[in-house]
Amino acid sequence: ANGKIACDAFAGGGPPPNPTSSPTSANFDNAGNVTAVGKSLFGIPPHLSGNITLGRSIYNSYCTGCHIERNNRTFPVLRSRIAMSPMLYDSAQIPDDMLANLVAYLNRFWVN
Domain count, the chain: 1
- Confidence tier at 15 by pLDDT (50, 70, 90): low
Q: What is the mean pLDDT of residues 32-49?
A: 97
Q: Does some domain include residue 94? A: yes
Residue 81: partners with Cβ closer than 8 Å, 6 or more residues away: 73, 87
Q: State in Å, rounded, how far the first CA of the chain is from the last one.
A: 33
What is the average pLDDT score of the chain? Answer: 86
Query: How far apart are alpha carbons 23 and 7 in whole angstroms?
Result: 23
Q: Which amino acid is at 90?
A: D
Q: Does some domain include residue 80? A: yes
Predicted local confidence at residue 69, as pLDDT:
83
Q: Does some domain include residue 46? A: yes
Q: What is the residue-wise DSSP string for 63-83?
A: TTTT-----S--HHHHHHHHT
Q: Does some domain include residue 6? A: no
Predicted local confidence at residue 10, as pLDDT:
55
Residue 74: partners with Cβ closer than 8 Å, 6 or more residues away: 42, 43, 103
Q: Does some domain include residue 35? A: yes
> Can you give the residue range of the structural domain that contains 70?
27-106
Q: Does some domain include residue 17? A: no
Tens of pLDDT, residue by residue over 71-109, are: 889 999 999 999 999 999 999 999 999 999 999 999 999
Q: Does some domain include residue 18? A: no
Q: Does some domain include residue 112? A: no
